Amino acid sequence: MNFDLLVHEAWPAYEVRAYEGWLLRHSGGVTKRANSVLALERPADLDRAIRAAEDFYRERGQRCVFSVGPGTMQGLDDELEHRGYEVVDPTLIMSGTPKGEPAPEVRIQERPWPGWLETWWAVDGRYADGIAAAERICTGVPAWYAAYEEDGRAVAVGRAVPQGDTLGIYCMATLPEARRRGLARTVLRALVAHAGGGPAYLVVTSRNAGAQALYRGEGFTAVGRYHYRAAPL
């Protein structure tokens, strides 16, 4: 299973330029997944390809970033390190067959509504004016959006993307005041049940030990890692 491509397809950049087996992705700077190079194949001239990527992001006012995962071309990570690119956001890939359990208190829709977006962005947002770009990324592919609501307010949310015979789990977020109540588990199980069960995967930052423990308890195990390499400032 090519997790690099699954993540790319589930979190689609709205501008993608192909370059000799590389995908140069741009989405207004919102999340590194949609604003980084996915280098799957070895180009004819590696130095020229890296310079082309750097030019691509420079033209858009962004720092050049590469996603370095299981499917990345061999030797790229070492080359980027040699050029002074720093490691950013080490991430764990987890996969399994989680439990599904319908929950009537969990609202599930095929598009994100304002309350869902506000809650997710309150937890994962990087800057105030990026929410419109984030919504554009999310809605770039069919997905389900779930929220545990209290008094009409979403306090825990998640997103599930059907991808053939597997399900991608994204945007799991719980407001600080609603944590440690099992709401993330409830949202996750509701999404899995809505999808009809089966295998699933997700990505979680290496430093988020609490989320990893939750996912292990739901049947996920670590199957790989990736990180980003960001150009020197």
Q: How far apart are the first and last CA of the chain?
A: 35
CA distance 32 to 150: 32
Q: Write down the pLDDT at residue 223.
A: 97
155: domain CATH number is: 3.40.630.30
Domain finish residue from 48, 66, 90: 90
CA distance 125 to 95: 25
Rg (CA), the chain: 18
* 76 shares its domain with 109: no
Q: Is residue 230, in this structure, part of any structural domain at all?
A: no
Q: Is residue 203, in this structure, part of any structural domain at all?
A: no
Please name the helix (run of DSSP H) or strand (run of DSSP E) that holds residue 173, with its range, or none.
Answer: strand 166-174
Per the DSSP assignment, residues forming a β-bridge with 109 are: 145
* 118 shares its domain with 178: yes
* 84 shares its domain with 173: no
CA distance 97 to 198: 6
CA distance 231 to 233: 6
Q: Write down the pLDDT at residue 125.
A: 75
Q: Is residue 227, in this structure, part of any structural domain at all?
A: no
Q: Write down the pLDDT at residue 31.
A: 87
Domain finish residue from 47, 72, 90: 90
* 55 shares its domain with 116: no
| Residue 229 CA from chain centroid, whole number | 16
Domain tally for the chain?
Answer: 2
Range of the domain at 80: 3-90
* 145 shares its domain with 114: yes
* 111 shares its domain with 190: yes
* 15 shares its domain with 75: yes
Q: Write down the pLDDT at residue 99.
A: 92
Q: Is residue 209, in this structure, part of any structural domain at all?
A: no
* 82 shares its domain with 18: yes
Minimal CA–CA distance to 75: which of 83, 135, 201?
Answer: 83
Over the chain (233 residues), what is each successive 10-residue block's mean pLDDT?
94 95 92 95 97 97 96 96 97 97 96 95 75 88 97 96 97 95 97 97 96 97 97 92
Q: Is residue 207, in this structure, part of any structural domain at all?
A: no
* 36 shares its domain with 126: no
Structure-token match 């199980």, residue found: 189
Do 57 and 25 meet the contact criterion of CB atoms below 8 Å apart? no
What's the predicted TM-score (pTM) here? 0.94
In three state form, how does the secondary structure of 93-142 look? EEEECCCCCCCCCEEEECCCCHHHHHHHHHHHCCCHHHHHHHHHHHCCCC
Q: Is residue 229, in this structure, part of any structural domain at all?
A: no
* 40 shares its domain with 77: yes
* 116 shares its domain with 33: no
* 109 shares its domain with 153: yes
